[in-house]
Amino acid sequence: MPVPCATGCGRNASLKRPKTGDALCKECFFWAFETEIHFTITRGELFNRGDSVAVAASGGKDSTVLAHVLKTLNERYNYGLNLILLSIDEGITGYRDDSLETVMQNSADYVMPLKILSYKDLYGWTMDEIVAQIGRKNNCTFCGVFRRQALDRGAALLNVKCIATGHNADDIAETVLMNVLRGDIARLKRCTAISTGSEGTIPRVKPLKYSYEKEIVMYAHYKKLVYFSTECVFAPNAYRGHARALLKDLEKIRPTCIMDIIYSGETMSVKEEVTLPTQRTCSRCNFVSSQEVCKACVLLEGLNKGLPKLGIGKSSKAKRMLEEYNAKQNDSLQEAISEINDEFKKNNCISKGKVCKSNCKSKENKHSTTDLNTVDANTNSCEQVHSNEVTDDNKETKCCNKKQYCTNKKTNETNESNSKAEKLLAEYGIPESSDKPNSIEETNSSQDKVCEIDVSNSVDNEEFDVDLHTNDEVILKEEDNTCAGACGKVDSLHIGF
């Protein structure tokens, strides 16, 4: 027997609202769902008339519904917003490439301009390449940190007033639970904020903060919205999954638990002695950071130096790794220098402070050899009078008076040795010039300068947490591969932007 819609509209109910248990017809459900979001926006004062707003779009259910509802409300209530879709291409074959097609479709359907930024363009790495380098353990740390910053960069590029993300009520309740379970009180309060971002940064707002995930799926389904629901190929089995499973079990018994948990997080007060992380800008890239150098810069440095674990875990660990790395670099540079010295001792002569690159046959008897680092022009000169300096390595020169003794060809060994040194010098960022380092001390000091990553201001023993999500609410630690992706899959471990 048909059940009438609880609003008294005269239509029959076609669904039971997960949030309230009301039996509603589709039209009344749409109205209730959209109106609640409108109240969230107006009560939270998320937008001002005339604002340009970037809608973080992944192609998943949350961001697709967000874009659709914002467009609807913008027209219905005349917000006067300029809505732009902003997507990040992480470079995950078989996942993001497909979901971006959905975003492009949404862009056409909702008549919203779309901006896509890729990790490859921003950082020089795709997620496929990062996973190939680091494996599957901490891939989501890189992905989440880079995505967060990529959105900031995109928003700055688009010159928008704020970024609207698709975080829903379930995501926020899960985050509250996770922070409680971890004892991460410092972030517990902040994680329920509807708008985040400190002065000078582009704020992020969550219009779907009070929208249940089940209702988002229902809305997308009944509205026949096009969204992407495939799980990321790198999806981990993360700690968030346990919080999600717990929440789903609780929701079955008591659907209001999601709102209740959010309310608990909102009204909880934190003792004064608990220090909250302060936001500032990264001294390297100038984007938002809670450290002197932001996590994205540290992770990228690690990738580029072949130290992918550099940004995983505590800052003190990163510092230690860098010290070891620099020490290793010193060792290998010194090794290369002594190899070069050996080669010179074998194959070269010194004249008037210049290294003769010729292969003088007389060197054994007449040329004294010397260490590259301790050249003494007075005591190590060629007995023959060098009429000219070496002018060209490839041509015959007037290096020695007794031309018949001088073939002036560099041996293969010397070439090899020099090219190795050049490679190392280039790798260490030491400018290659005719003025090669004269001493190991000099070499080391320039190397130290180049190889230094400025984590010095990161407080030792302070945990170097990763804000995994586009908002600050999900904190990833070394042992947790919480996904911050936007797969859009129902019941996946992912949450949207």
Q: How does 332-370 read in b/e, with b if 16+ C-beta sit within 10 Å?
A: ebeebbeebbebbeebbbbbeeeebbbbbebbeeebebb
| 299 binds ligand SF4 per the rule CB under 6 A | no
Other CB atoms within 10 A of residue 266 CB: 14
Letters for 113-132 (x = contact with ligand SF4 by CB under 6 A, - = none) are --------------x-----
Nearer to ligand SF4, 135 or 200 (CB): 135
Other CB atoms within 10 A of residue 254 CB: 9
Nearer to ligand SF4, 162 or 487 (CB): 487
Closest separation between CB of residue 463 and ligand SF4, Å?
20
Q: What is the full DSSP assignment across 399-412?
A: SSSSGGGB-----H
* DSSP-derived pairing of the beta strands 195-196 and 204-205: antiparallel
* Residues 6 or more apart in contact with residue 126 via CB below 8 angstroms: 90, 91, 92, 118, 119, 120
53, 117, 140, 169: which one contacts ligand SF4 (CB under 6 A)? 140
Closest separation between CB of residue 470 and ligand SF4, Å?
11
Q: Which stretch binds ligand SF4 (CB under 6 A): 2-10, 140-148, 245-253, 293-301?
A: 140-148
Radius of gyration for the alpha carbons in the chain, expressed in angstroms and rounded: 31
235, 297, 430, 451: which one contacts ligand SF4 (CB under 6 A)? 235
Contacts of ligand SF4 in 76-105 (CB under 6 A): 90
| 234 binds ligand SF4 per the rule CB under 6 A | yes
| 212 binds ligand SF4 per the rule CB under 6 A | no
Q: How many angstroms separate the Cα of 304 from the Cα of each of 119, 145, 313, 411?
A: 14, 16, 18, 34
Nearer to ligand SF4, 144 or 265 (CB): 144
* DSSP-derived pairing of the beta strands 15-16 and 23-24: antiparallel
SS3 of 170, please?
A: helix
13, 84, 232, 333: which one contacts ligand SF4 (CB under 6 A)? 232
Closest separation between CB of residue 481 and ligand SF4, Å?
7
- Residue count at the site for ligand SF4 (CB under 6 A)? 13
Q: Which stretch binds ligand SF4 (CB under 6 A): 159-167, 239-247, 294-302, 480-488?
A: 480-488
83, 483, 495, 496: which one contacts ligand SF4 (CB under 6 A)? 483
Q: How many angstroms separate the Cα of 97 from the Cα of each of 39, 84, 101, 395, 492?
A: 35, 20, 7, 55, 19
Nearer to ligand SF4, 175 or 348 (CB): 175
Tokens of 421: 């040194």
CA–CA distance, 166 with 388 (Å, rounded to integer): 74
Other CB atoms within 10 A of residue 133 CB: 14
Nearer to ligand SF4, 21 or 94 (CB): 94
91, 207, 265, 485: which one contacts ligand SF4 (CB under 6 A)? 485
Which residues of this chain interact with ligand SF4, rule CB under 6 A? 90, 127, 139-140, 143-144, 232, 234-235, 483-485, 494
